[in-house]
Amino acid sequence: MSDTKTTGGKVEKSEAEWRKELTPMQYAVLREKATERPFSGEYEHEHRPGTYTCAGCGQTLFESDAKFDSGCGWPSFTRPALESHVDEERDVTHGMVRTEVLCSKCNGHLGHVFEDGPGPTGLRYCINSAALKLQPK
Ligand SMILES: [Zn+2]
């Protein structure tokens, strides 16, 4: 971690460093915007209370009390733990218009947010398990 740069609170590392620190699945999701196969991630059916942090940089992303069973095959949340900890960007790849969700600290790809979630936000943050690390309470 010696040559990890932190610029304005951001974590910046070379792709080689990320490749060294992350598992191949974490690297594919966070750095290459891959999507894990539905119903395959370790946190889809996770019900333990705790805090989900970024698998890349450890920033707090979601709390377990915002997690719900959407049946979509990925861990789903109604809201981030802190708005400032996630960035949202318009994504027009794969012939769809979606909103991409990124970690605001390391710019890692987390998943997408859709407007078909339950109340009160009406949002569904559909997040790859590989991008998350649960810190059980
Ligand atoms: Zn991060």
Beta bridge partners of 127: 111
* Residue 81 backbone phi and psi in degrees, to 5: -60, -40
Alpha carbon of 122 to ligand 1 centroid (Å)? 25
Domain enclosing residue 31, as ranges: 5-136
pLDDT greater than 90 at residue 73: yes
Count of domains for the chain: 1
The pLDDT tens digits for 86-97 are 999 999 999 999
Tell me the percentage of the chain whose pLDDT exceeds 70: 95
- CATH assignment at residue 62: 2.170.150.20
pLDDT greater than 50 at residue 2: no
Instruction: Write down the pLDDT at residue 8.
Output: 72
The first and second tokens of residue 87, run together, are: 């960035």
Alpha carbon of 97 to ligand 1 centroid (Å)? 24
Which residues are found with C-beta within 5 Å of the ion, ligand 1? Answer: 54, 56-57, 59, 103, 105-106, 108
Alpha carbon of 57 to ligand 1 centroid (Å)? 4
The pLDDT tens digits for 8-58 are 789 999 999 999 999 999 999 999 999 999 999 999 999 999 999 999 999
pLDDT greater than 70 at residue 5: no
Query: Burial of 87 by CB count in 10 Å (0-12 exposed, 13-18 middle, 19+ buried)?
Result: middle
pTM: 0.92
Alpha carbon of 45 to ligand 1 centroid (Å)? 22
